[in-house]
Amino acid sequence: MKPKFYEEAGEILKIISKDRTRTNLLKNLEQKTLAYLVQRIPAWMNSNMLTLMGFTGSLIVVVGFILAAYFNKNWLLLAMPGFAINWFGDSLDGRLAYFRKLPRKWYGFALDLTVDWLTTILIGFGYLVYSTGYWDLAGFGFVVFYGWAMITALLRYKITGKYVIDSGVFGPTEVRIIISFILLAEVLFTDAILYAGVFACVVLFIVNIIETRKLLHQADELDKSEKENKLKEQNG
């Protein structure tokens, strides 16, 4: 038997999920939980406040990196509530607008992408502060490859008309969880974050190659379709 709050959330899910296609591993649990939460946001809180809350979460993550670098690595654990706050604000800002029937599709789209990019830079910067020597390259690589993934998502939206923020079963939520576990591992085992950072870059690179190939195939099919339609119009 499903929990009652999931049944209530299911009624709202159709309203707040029409702007994106999700494929991530936790999509069912996440979307129903968000549909439940969006109904309980105080009336005085708006989407911009939630966006600011999400960005504040990313600042908390960076502060955790900096404190860990200069004082004690246990400060890395501060990133966990930081990621939770970031998830809450970033995931609910647009959905709140749709739920209250006050969507600003293109404004929200532009603001969301800008804040996401700044968040990625901040996390990469935090890693650079904490790491030393050539390990810094992993932080640089993370920013570059995650930025590549964001560009791919934008191009896919332009080509297919569908905004997909996930790469297969991995989405922003899964990335937050994985990074949190990496930081926990670093607290327990020295230098775990360094090796995990390199591994994350390799995985991101492979995923980006796969997604870019799919995107190029979709773009090629669109070109062929447009050419065929143009010929039909000329011969029609």
What CATH code is carried by the domain that includes residue 38? Answer: 1.20.120.1760
Measure the N-to-C terminal CA separation of the chain; round to a whole number of Å: 58
- In this structure, of 21-30, 50-59, 145-154, 209-218, the range with the lowest mean pLDDT score is 21-30
* pLDDT tops 80 at residue 7: no
- In this structure, of 55-59, 69-73, 134-138, the range with the lowest mean pLDDT score is 134-138
| Structure token digits, residue 13 | 């899910």
Domain that holds residue 184: 4-235
pTM of the model as a whole: 0.83
Q: Minimal CA–CA distance to 116: which of 141, 73, 96, 146?
A: 146
The string of pLDDT tens digits covering residues 163-210 is 777 776 678 888 888 889 989 999 998 888 888 888 888 988 998 999
Count: domains in the chain: 1
Distance CA 109, CA 129 (A): 30
How many CA atoms are closer than 13 Å to the CA of 222, on its beta-carbon side?
13
Per-residue confidence (pLDDT) for residue 136, from 0 to 100: 81
1 confidence band (pLDDT: 50, 70, 90):
very low
Q: Hey, what's the torsion of the CAs at 180, 184, 186, 190, to 10 degrees? A: -170
Asked whether 193 and 182 are in contact (CB, 8 A), the reply is: yes
Burial of 121 (0-12, 13-18, 19+ CB in 10 A): middle
Instruction: Give how far the C-alpha of residue 61 lies from the chain's centroid of Cα atoms, to the nearest Å.
Output: 15
